[in-house]
Structure 1
């Protein structure tokens, strides 16, 4: 499995682990959002006009993406963590696969629409830089999370 396919799963597991820690999910989400704004602002070098339009579109996209990943996958994650995964029937496993595929397709369509909306306000090079900045940010976040775990 290549890293690009593994990254969303890793992010899902990292975000689910946030539930088990002291701060509320909303507080952690806001911290990450603040870090993301700073990182993207530096990486994309947006003009004031671009930034105003970009953040409105990006925040809507990011919220919908978060909602899809967490609400749709919550049942699957619960099933994986409660030990009953080894006891499910082939039919139940097939239903889970269909749910996962549907969620992945919804995420793909959401990303596609997001990119189409960005094309109206940003040059293509900045959209490509955004994709790279997202990957770099997620990699840094995951690295920071791993290092925090080793320091306990």
Structure 2
């Protein structure tokens, strides 16, 4: 499995663990959304018109992406952590892999639809910057999570 396929799965596990601890998932999600809005606004220098059109589309995309990852990941995580993987048959493993692939496909199609919609709002340069801003934001969020984990030990 190459890194491009492994990274989304790794991020799913990390984000699942991140949300499973401490504050309610809804509170953390709202905090992250506020930080993301501030970060993207700074990084992308939206015009008023761009911001008014971009955020509703982005928020709908982000909510659906979150829902797909976390609803389905709960099932996957339960399966991976309940000890049943040690007794899984080849047929069951293939079904499990197909379910994971279906979720990845749904996420891919969701992003593709989002990109199509965003192309009607933002110039290509800002879309490329958006991609970088998303990656930078996720990296910073992961770094804060790691730092928070080290401080509590």
Q: Do Structure 1 and Structure 2 share a fold, with TM-score over 0.5?
A: yes
Mapped to 1, the partners of 2:132 and 2:99 lie a distance apart of 28
Taking structure 1 as the reference length, the TM-score comes to: 0.93
Structure 1 20/122 Cα, relative in aligned 2: closer, same or farther at 3 Å?
closer
Mapped to 1, the partners of 2:129 and 2:20 lie a distance apart of 33
5+ long unaligned stretches in structure 2: none
Q: Tell me the equivalent position of 1:55.
A: 55
Instruction: Kindly report which structure 2 residues correspond to 1:39-78, keeping only aligned pairs within 5 A, or say none.
Output: 39-78=39-78
Count matched residues: 151
Mapped to 1, the partners of 2:5 and 2:140 lie a distance apart of 17
How far residue 42 of structure 1 moved from its aligned partner, in angstroms, is: 0.6
CA RMSD of aligned residues (A): 1.3
Mapped to 1, the partners of 2:33 and 2:86 lie a distance apart of 37
How far residue 6 of structure 1 moved from its aligned partner, in angstroms, is: 3.9
Q: Tell me the equivalent position of 2:34.
A: 34
Q: Tell me the equivalent position of 1:85.
A: 85
Structure 1 123/103 Cα, relative in aligned 2: closer, same or farther at 3 Å?
same
Instruction: Kindly report which structure 2 residues correspond to 1:3-152, keeping only aligned pairs within 5 A, or say none.
Output: 4-152=4-152
Give the SS at the match of 2:126: helix
Comparing 87-96 with 19-28, greater Cα deviation is found at 19-28
1:11·1:142 contact (CA, 8 Å) conserved in 2? no
Structure 1 117/19 Cα, relative in aligned 2: closer, same or farther at 3 Å?
closer
Comparing 102-111 with 72-81, greater Cα deviation is found at 72-81
Mapped to 1, the partners of 2:7 and 2:34 lie a distance apart of 21
Mapped to 1, the partners of 2:124 and 2:20 lie a distance apart of 40
1:104-137 Cα shifts (integer Å, max 9, x gaps): 1111111011000001111011111101100010
How far residue 21 of structure 1 moved from its aligned partner, in angstroms, is: 1.9
Mapped to 1, the partners of 2:29 and 2:93 lie a distance apart of 31
